[in-house]
Amino acid sequence: MQKRLFAVITAIAFIFLIFLGRFFYIQVIWEDTLHYRAIDQWTREIPVIASRGKIYDKNGELLAGNRTAYSVFARASAVKDAEGSATLLSSRLDASYDEIYKKLTDKSRSEITIVRAAEKSVVEKIEGAALDGVYYARDNVRIYPYGSLACQVLGFTSYDRSGTTGVEQYYNKFLSGADGEILFETDLIGVDLEGATAAYLPAEDGLNVRLTLDFRIQALAEEVMEKVLLSSEAKAARCVVLDPSDFSVLAMVNLPSYDLNDIPRDDISALNKLSRNCLVSDVYEPGSTFKIVTSAANIEEYLQGNPAAFSERHVFPSGRTRTVEGSQIKCWSDHSNGKHSNQTLAEALNNSCNPCFVDIALALGKEKFYDYLSAFRFGRATGLDFSGESIGMLLPESTVQSADLARIGFGQAIAVTPLQLACAAASAVNGGYYYSPRLVSEIFSDDGSISEKTKPALLGRTVSEEASRILSGMLEGVVRDGSGKKAYIDGYRVAGKTGTAQKYENGVIAQGKYISSFVGYFPADNPSYLALVIVDEPTGSYYGSTVAAPCAKEIFEGIIRINGLKPTQGGNI
């Protein structure tokens, strides 16, 4: 009996503890959830839309803002005269009676939107009509004062005001803010209670974003690239302008473009193509512009005492071709003019002679050359604060053959994003400092309080300041005496390198299709502005020296005018 009594008492105690635990869970742990459910059951809410944060350029020019609009909502359970309300709303809102009546009688949902983002004049037509179950609230419409300007960088928002692409997407958590609401007390079926007062929960507006982009340089670069796109009948034209001292992005141009105030949402294929920031997400063979990296590696290794590296005075043997592992690699020139015979490194850069850079890559060797490719961050993201950045295409070191290495030396057998190349070039000539490129400098509220500030982030060193100085002197010679002459500006120390790359389709060379490019900067001795210009499939002349270099010159001349920069040596533009 004692054992049975003990078992019964134990069972009763266990059941009691279960109930006690359940009560504790409901009263303490589940309290907030149940409280919310109760409020939700006995109230109906009308949203108070937060104002989305604005986007400015580095100088305070508004690039993305808001226009106040209004949305009309209905709660079918609170509508007393669906026919009469539908008749009035359809006539005053110029909408379908049947569609509105269907919404006013759809009791399967709590709130239904009748009109979204309407002008105030539209709402005024129903204001004062006192329609039961019909409400309106402030809304916002995103506007872009300059239409297509920097459209792929800024991006756009969806119908629910959430960032979909570009900066709008990447910084959405700051820009979006938090919506508020107006709460109405109702009975269980959603009918307003007589005499009940509404509770107001204010919205929290989004924070503003200040870009590193300079509106003036962006507009200038877009104008220049638009001209070359039309004159050369090219497939596309792109340009990125950096501040080499900290890799701040001053301009990003992708053409063709589209108007952010008239987004082609009905054609998803076209929208995806036009809204893509190809400077960040697409890759291409850089061609001869990559010789900047090969030269930087060689100069640094020579300064470090590597006997395999070539000195500034070394004379590369003449010859249009090099044979590597049975594969014949040719120079773009037939060498008939004699300029490519017995060249130094500076002259090889001037002439953009492929065999010389084959010699450099093979002399440095796979392991050492790949060390520099890694230092220049090829094969990985630059770290830009932007979604969808590609890492490029770099052959695994373990699989690289001598013929591959030879081609990488002059910009083939490797694919990079334009941003990767621009950053690598900037690092090669700014003293060897590689920063993480950035599009946003700070995030702040309307009262000026700074929430976050983005400072330049040094990711590593690529070459020494001495190697960078020597290389920059050679690249200045390319513009003064070599293939980059069409970027020369009298009185200003412009330096750079041209590039002309063949395109591939289905793994084979696409005949007659080229990418013309030029990467340049100034002043050569203390770079402040660097521009990479890319013209995709120009017709007629297709050399980077004749198509892309003149664009860089126009952009640099415009920057000089905008900022009132004085000549660094005798003469004027």
Distance of CA 420 to the CA centre of its chain: 13
The contacts of residue 448 (CB under 8 Å, 6+ apart) are none
- DSSP designation for 435: E
Closest CA to 380 of 348, 344, 419, 431: 419
- Residues 6 or more apart whose CB falls under 8 angstroms from that of 459 comprise 377, 383, 434, 435, 436
Lookup result for tokens 């295409």? 393
SS3 for 354? helix
**Cα separation values, 383 from 280, 360, 550, Å:** 10, 29, 30
Residue 146's nearest CA partner among 57, 59, 58, 231 is 57
Sheet holding 495-505, edge to edge: 248-255, 236-243, 529-536, 508-522, 495-505
Catalytic positions, please? 288
Separation CA 296–CA 364 (nearest Å): 12
Distances (CA, A) of 502 to 40, 313, 418, 507: 64, 31, 16, 12
Q: Count Cα neighbours of 32 within 13 Å in the Cβ-side half-sphere.
A: 1
28: helix, strand or coil: helix
